[in-house]
Every structure is written in structure tokens, then in C-alpha cells.
Amino acid sequence: MNTYCGSRSSRPARLFSFALLDVPLRVRLCRSHLREATADFGLNCLATASMGNPGFLAFFLLSALLCAAPALAQHKEQHRGPSDLKEYIELLERPERDKDQKPDEVIKALNLDRYMTIADIGAGSGYFTRKFVWAVQDKGMVYAVDIEPGMLKYNEEMIEHLHTPYNAKFIVAKENDPLLPPKSVDLVFLCNAYHHLDKRADYFTRVKATLKPKGRVAIIDFYHDERSGNLGFSKDHLIPRDTVIKEMTDAGYTISKEHTFLPKQYFLEFVVAEK
């Protein structure tokens, strides 16, 4: 059984919003030479004005759309559109990625068994999610966790193509919380996702509450220096291996294993530190 968890939330535009009901219409004026102001209108008033002057309604709506443009642009930057998602999925799923990522060796190193519950945080297109599903099938459970619903939709569709029984849940998470059930997970896994997180010590304090007593966290991410080679993007936001260890220690973990077979990435495993 596969379940899609989490709700899709549509955020209101920051500069204006309206409902198609007879309720107050709230408009925020957004000219740079004006102080930000708000005005309340009833749609009945708007309808009355437009009856007397048919051009008024068109003018009003056009003004509102122009005013909303900056917010819509910002929204597009925060959430990828369909074309952006397609390009990003193609990047994540490119066949040549296997050469350096060595996914089968990663799965073997994690020493999985079929009864495990695994959380793939930052699951994206499902590059590793599919490997986990294949490893545990319907004896275990895989949580695919991401903040982008479109990526999870693609992830789920690709898992259906495996044609094998499985248990998986697809969780639309918050940026600061994976929304995993408490004390439910044997392995929390992140590949190239750690450096995208803010307030990482706080995040992994929350993760700690989701782990079973012998649960662990595995983190794979790019080296911040020449060892990762040419990645096609700036390395300024990458997190050095030693910083990861320090931050995880601050969050209450201790390093338990380090795998060194990946040429461009560190591969660390952590367990909750004993008190």
C-alpha cells in the first residue's frame, strides 16, 4: 500500500487576495513612492461601481494584477514551475550520475534488512527512494520526504513502475520539520540535502524524536573543496565534513561510521549520543 501524506497548501499572494464571495476585498497598495496601505471593499460596492462605469472593473482588476506581479515572481522563485521541475528531475536522474554516486554500493554499506523503516529526507525524484523500496519491499516501510509536492508525485509514479509490492508514504514536509512519526524510523538518510537545511542543529533535534532506540542517521554530501571537482554550481553553500560532525554533535549525536568510497562526497553515519 502506498500513501501520499501531507497536504498541498496554496499560499495566498502577498500583495493581494480575494475570494469570489460577498466578503470584504482586501487590496494592498504597492507603489514604491507610497507607504504600504490597505483598503477594504465589499464586492457589492465593486459591482455597483462597475454597473455605472463598465471600464472601472477592468481597470481595477488590471491594477490589482500589476500590483501582484512582484509577489508572483517571488512565489515562482520559491517553488519550481513544471519546466523547472522537469529540468531538475533530468539532472537528478541522469544515467552518468551512478558513476560517482555509486548507489548500489551505498545501499550495501547501509546494511539494510527487509523489516526496516527508512526515511529518505530530501527524496526529490526518488533516485535513492526506489533503491530503498526495492530493498525492503512490503516487509518494511519507506518515507519519502520533501518540501516539493511535484517531486514527490514523480517519485511515487516511478515507484509504481517497479512492479513490486511495497509500503511507502510520501510526506510533504516543512522546511524545519520532516513531519515523521515519533519513534518510528530505523534509518534517516540524506543525500546532497544536508546543505539545503537551515538551523540544522534544531532540525536534527526534531529528527532525534523520530528515531527508534537503535536508529541512525546517514548523511552524504559534496566536499566543499577540490575533492568534489566541477559540480556545475557554486560550492559556497556546501558544508565541510568537519562542520557536519560538529553540528550533529551539538544536536546530540555521535559519529558511528564513515565510508570513504565515494570520490566527491563524504558519507557519515550517526547515532544518538549516550547520556
For the chain, domains (ranges, CATH) are 20-78 (no CATH), 87-272 (3.40.50.150)
pLDDT at 232: 84
The number of residues making up the chain comes to 275
Paired with 143 in beta bridges are: 119, 169
Q: Which of 115, 126, 238, 249 is nearest to 187 (CA)?
A: 115
pLDDT at 275: 79
Q: Rounded to whole angstroms, how far apart are CA atoms 150 and 155? A: 9
Residue carrying C-alpha cell 477592468? 58
pLDDT at 124: 94
Query: How does DSSP classify residue 177?
Result: B
pLDDT at 202: 93
Q: Which of 176, 17, 148, 172 is nearest to 92 (CA)?
A: 148
Residue-level pLDDT, tens digit, the chain, 275 residues: 444 443 333 333 332 232 323 333 332 323 333 333 333 434 454 445 445 555 554 554 444 444 443 333 333 334 445 568 888 888 888 889 999 999 999 999 999 999 999 999 999 999 999 999 999 999 999 999 999 999 999 999 999 999 899 999 999 999 999 999 999 999 999 999 999 999 999 999 999 999 999 999 999 999 999 999 998 889 999 999 999 999 999 999 999 999 999 999 999 999 999 97
Query: How does DSSP classify residue 24?
Result: E
pTM more than 0.75? no
Angle CA 68–71–76, to nearest 5: 125
pLDDT at 35: 34
pLDDT at 20: 28
pLDDT at 88: 83
The string of DSSP letters for 37-78 reads: EEEEEEHHHHHHHHHH-HHHHHHHHHHHHHHHHHHHHHHHHH
pLDDT at 95: 87
> 33: how many CB neighbours lie within 10 A of its CB?
4
pLDDT at 8: 32
